Chains A and B, each alone.
Chain A
C-alpha cells in the first residue's frame, strides 16, 4: 500500500492531479425514488467501451472487401478460438447499447433533465444517439451477408430521396451508383475511424457537461428542495455512487455474456448482388419504426412522392428533437405540458410502430 501511495505522491507532485479529481470528490448524486435512472447513461458508456475493445479484437482478423469480408467473419466464427464469442458480444453489446441509449434519452425526457442549463448536454446526447445508429447501420454491412447487403441498399436509397443533396449523398455513401465492394470499404472506414473519433470527442463533451452542471433532479423535487434545503438528500459520487455504477456494469456484463453465449449471432449467407431479396426482409429493430412508417405512406401524397415526404418528415422531426430543450420553459414550477405529451406520444409511436413492423409481413 505504501509503495502505491509513493507512486500516487510522485504523480501528484508533477501533475497536481489531486486538483484534477477534486471536482469528482465534491460531486454528489441526488437521492430520490427515481435515482435509478441515473445509471442508464453510465451503462451506455460501459457498453461503448465494450464495443471499442471487442471491435479492436475483431480488427485483428477482419478483412474489408467484397471477396474477403464474409470469409474473414466466417473464419472468426469457426476457426479463431473464442472468435464466435467476441463477435457475438460485439453484436449483442451494440444492440443493448442502442437500447440503453434510447432508454437513457427517454428517462432524461420524462425527468425533464434537458432543461436550462443542460440544453447542450441534451444536444450532444441526441447527436450521440444518431451516431450510435450510424454505427449500427455501418457495422451491419461489414459481414457482407445478404441481409446486410439489402439493408444497405434500401438505407442508402432512402438517403437518395432527400431533395437536392440526396443523390450526391447517396453516391458518397455508396462510393458509386450501386452498393458494391467500394461501399463496404467506405462503411468500414466510417465504422472504425470516422464515427469512433467523433463519438469519443462528443462523449468527452457530454461527460464534461454532466460533470460541470451536476445531476439534474425532477422538477417537483427541485421546487421542494429549493424551498426547503434541509430536505435535500444526496450521495457522494466517489466512491458511493461509483461503486453502485460498477455493480450495474458488472450485471450488464453478465447479461451480455449470457446472451452472447446462449444466442450467438448469426452470420447468414454471403451477399450476392444478383440474387433476389429474401422474403420477410426487415431492418434491425431500431430502424423498424421508421421502416414501418415509410411502408404505410402512400406512394403519392398530393403532389409529393410518399418516400420523399417520409424522409423529409423524419429529418424535420430529428432536427426538432435535437432542439427540444429550447422550447421548454425556464421556470421549473411551470413546465410545458405539451412537451411531456410529445414525449409520451413519441415513446408510444416508436414502440407501437416497432411492434407493428415486427409482426407485419
Chain B
C-alpha cells in the first residue's frame, strides 16, 4: 500500500466493497442468464431412422422415374433409371436445403427452388449447388428395395 493510499483509506475501502458487491451482482446475473441460454438451445432430436430402410417395393417404380422416401428425419430420393438401374441419394439440395426431384424429361435430378441440377450419381452439374448429393447404397432383396448409408471405408 502506498503512502498516497494510506492517506485516503476511506476511498480505497469503498472501492474494494464496490468491486465485491458489483462482482457478486454480475456473477448472480450470469447465473440467471446461463439457464436461459441453455434453455434456448433445443435438445437434439434422435435420428430414429437407423442405417437401413425399405425405400420402395420392386413393382412400385417404372423405369425413368423417381420417388422421395423417408430416411431418418430427412428425405431421400430413389431413382429407377431408364436403363433399369436403381440409384439412391439424399434428396436435400446442397445449395439451400430444398427437396430435389427426378425429372424424367431431363433424366436428371432437379431442384425447383433455384434450378440446380445433378446427374444420376448425384454430382452437381449445373446451377448453384456447391456439392454433390450424398449417395446411398441400394440393394434389392426379394421384392423390396433397401437403402443404406455408405459405410466410411
Contact = CB atoms under 8 A, between A and B. Distances in A.
Interface of A: 57, 60-61, 79-83, 85-86, 253
A57 B43 contact: no
B36 A57 contact: yes
A83 B32 CA distance: 13
22 contacts: A57-B36, A57-B39, A57-B40, A60-B40, A61-B42, A79-B43, A80-B39, A80-B42, A80-B43, A81-B35, A81-B38, A81-B39, A81-B41, A81-B43, A82-B35, A82-B36, A83-B39, A85-B35, A85-B39, A86-B35, A86-B36, A253-B32
A57 B39 CA distance: 8
Contacts of B39: 57, 60, 80-83, 85-86
Chain B interface mostly helix, strand, loop or mixed? helix
Nearest to B39: A82
Interface residues of B, number: 9
Contacts of A81: 35, 38-39, 41, 43
A89 to B, nearest CB: 9
Q: Report, nearest first, the 4 A-B pairs whose CB atoms are least far apart.
A: A82-B35, A81-B38, A82-B39, A79-B43
SS class, residues of chain A in contact with chain B: loop
Nearest to A58: B39
Interface string B22-48: 000000000010011011111100000
A61 B36 CA distance: 13
A83 B43 CA distance: 11
Contacts of B36: 57, 82, 86
B114 to A, nearest CB: 31
B10 to A, nearest CB: 21
Contacts of A57: 36, 39-40
A85 B32 CA distance: 11
Q: Which of A57, A60, A61, A81 has the most CB of B within 10 A?
A: A81
A61 B32 CA distance: 20
A88 to B, nearest CB: 11
A85 B35 CA distance: 8
Nearest to A86: B39
B28 to A, nearest CB: 8
Contacts of A253: 32
A79 B46 CA distance: 12
A253 B40 CA distance: 21
A220 to B, nearest CB: 38
B48 to A, nearest CB: 15
A250 B70 CA distance: 51
Contacts of B40: 57, 60
A280 B35 CA distance: 36
A178 B38 CA distance: 39
Nearest to A53: B36
Nearest to B35: A82
Given A81-B41, A82-B38, A86-B36, 18 more contacts: A57-B36, A57-B39, A57-B40, A60-B40, A80-B39, A80-B42, A80-B43, A81-B35, A81-B38, A81-B43, A82-B35, A82-B39, A83-B39, A85-B35, A85-B39, A86-B35, A86-B39, A253-B32
Interface string B99-137: 000000000000000000000000000000000000000
B30 to A, nearest CB: 14
B36 to A, nearest CB: 7
Interface in B42-80: 42-43
Could you say which of B32, B35, B38 has the most chain A C-beta atoms within 10 Å of its C-beta? B35
Contacts of A86: 35-36, 39
A57 B36 CA distance: 8
A322 to B, nearest CB: 37
A222 to B, nearest CB: 38
A79 B38 CA distance: 12
A262 to B, nearest CB: 15
B25 to A, nearest CB: 8
